[in-house]
Structure 1
Amino acid sequence: MSATDDDIMRTRLMIEGEGSDYRRLNNLLRSFMKWCLNDDQTQEESEAAYHQILFILSQCEFAMEKIQLSVDMYEREKQNYQLLSSEIERRRETAENEIVTYKDQLVDAREVRRNRQEYDALAKIINKYPNRRETTKEIESLEHSLLDLSQNKERLSLKVEERRKEFCLLVHSVNELQALLQDDELDVKDGNSSMDMSQ
């Protein structure tokens, strides 16, 4: 069912009362002027007009109070929005600072992770070899063995030197013995020759 123009106007008047604020003031002014300038009206008509003026005036006052309340409400809403805007701006700045902090922490965490990966790789390589204590013991054992070998070498060198001297002495003794034997042979030959000559 479609609404007619009268229904629309009736609804509008119910919502707006006598109409807009400007029309109310004009209506108040006209009623007041008519009430003041009209001398022909009776006491009852004058009182009815007076009550009509008071009614219109109360409607204007109510409209003004409503407007003032709306203005106050809009002002409070404006302050709330300003506070909300300030809070949002503060939170945005805080969030930006946190983002910068988290970015720095992310860079640090990536560096730590990379270092851990390198450490794990190095640890795997290092774990293939014996630890320091075992290596130190092995080095000490090798040094001890080397010292023993050095002492053995020195002993053997002394022994070889002693044997060389003994060998030299033996060779010298053999040479002297050979010389003696040769002398003895010569003496024997000379003795045989002189015996043959004497016969």
Structure 2
Amino acid sequence: MAKSKNRHDLMEEIEGDPFLDDPEAEVADEEITDEAVAAEESTALRSEVADLKDRLLRALADTENLRKRAERDRRDAELYGATRFARDMLSLHDNLDRALDNVTDAVRDTAPGLVEGIELTRRELLNAFERNKIEKIDPKPGDRFDPKFHQAMFEAPVPGTKAGDVIQVMSPGFTIADRLLRPAQVGVSAGGPAKQ
């Protein structure tokens, strides 16, 4: 079994080595070692700097995305925050329209102030809608049916019309900014009657 050398024996071997006794060789070894250590440290530092720079850029990108998302959410809340309230107000609009549609000449003569009050209330409601970017969708008979803004309540063959034409409007629709609040309820033509 080979006996391991102790430190003293190793030192004697090293001191007896003519190459190791050369002071210039010793300095060169130290320089190489110092240069290697410095290069290794420099590489490690560069790697760490690159890693930190990458993490910083990712954090900046995340922050910018968060800022944009918050801005978009704020803008959406400003534009569409009143959507539920606006939907509730649509029935008020419909009721005012029905009241005005049922006013006869006799009622106008008997209670002109009442009729004028209903008209002013309706006009003020429409002004409030306009200020809040709520627009009326009011198709006319003969317009093309648009499934984005219209809801077909029935379909009937009507002479002199093309299939897909609006033939009757039951109630107007509304949008808020660019979103649909309620589609216009319409009757749609199935085209002219079939030829016999």
**Please, what TM-score do these two structures have when normalized by structure 2?**
0.35
Structure that is richer in strand per residue: 2
Structure that is richer in helix per residue: 1
**Please, what TM-score do these two structures have when normalized by structure 1?**
0.35
